[in-house]
Amino acid sequence: MPYFTTTDGAEIFYTDQGTGQPIVLSHGWPLSSDAWQVEIKRFYDAGYRVIAHDRRGHGRSSKVATGHDMTTYAKNLAELIEHLDLHDVVVIGHSTGGGEVVRYAAQFGKGRVAKVVTAGAVPPIMLKSESNPEGTPIEDLDGIRTNVLKDRSQFWLDLAVPFYGGNRPGVDVSEGLKEDFWRQGMLVNLIAAYDCVKAFSETDQADDLKAIDVPIFIAQGDDDQIVPIAAAAKKSIELVKHGTLKVYPGASHGIWGAYQDELDQDILAFIAK
């Protein structure tokens, strides 16, 4: 299995499939690159080179106790892209990964990034405040931290339900999908899982969005129960220079089912423009 070592000594697992224009995928919390398996195949079949990594502390990467902030995540992504000497790159991020690719494109990816895609992404900032009343209250975020410490195994099972919209009438989320969320969650270092909550919720990325000078496709479901769309996609589109927003009716935070099918088609169409 391929790994590379960052300048601060973390070993990052990644998968690299295919040839052609590179697409680099950044996963959400508390998952791993396994969350992108369907996209890896679809984009590979479409003729692209597809790379996906496990963020530090997640999946098969080093269970390091430090560096769980958006800037370090983006620096690690930059080091991976430089390690593979990728150019004309399309970076795609879901949830926390959306914050990672936005910061990467804004601060580290000049001259390498061709396009950016985010889905259910956390920018510009998730935390509720006087200036961001649509955001997530700090009490809810503290509740996540409490549950991660108290019984993370049960919490991943519980979280998978709203993550994929399984608490909505008529939505049938398979046990396999929920258990795969649990499986990936259980691979996260506890320190990484805990500290990443602050990274994904309290990092102000308004300036990152303003700095992106390449086309960006911003996608989000209007029934996202994890990242409030009014604080995320609908604000992000107002800050970027060359943005396209698509809201998916009834879609959850998790990428699966009909939402996944439509989103993947839209991403391929956006890349091909």
- What are the catalytic residues? 95, 224, 253
- Of the candidates 83, 85, 108, 101, which has an alpha carbon nearest to the alpha carbon of residue 36? 101
70 DSSP 8-state letter: H
- Of the candidates 219, 205, 203, 208, which has an alpha carbon nearest to the alpha carbon of residue 241? 208
Residue 107 three-state SS: helix
Helices (H), the chain: 37-45, 70-83, 96-107, 138-163, 175-185, 190-202, 206-211, 233-236, 257-272
Burial 190-204 (b: 16+ CB within 10 A, else e): eebbbbbbebbbbbe
Residues ≥6 apart with Cβ < 8 Å to 153: 182, 186
Task: Count other Cβ atoms within 10 Å, centred on residue 165.
Answer: 22
Question: At which residue do the structure tokens 């992000």 appear?
Answer: 236
- Of the candidates 42, 79, 29, 104, which has an alpha carbon nearest to the alpha carbon of residue 260? 42
For residue 97 the two structure tokens come to 């990964």
In whole angstroms, what is the distance from residue 266 CA to residue 217 CA? 9
Beta carbons of 162 and 225 less than 8 angstroms apart: yes
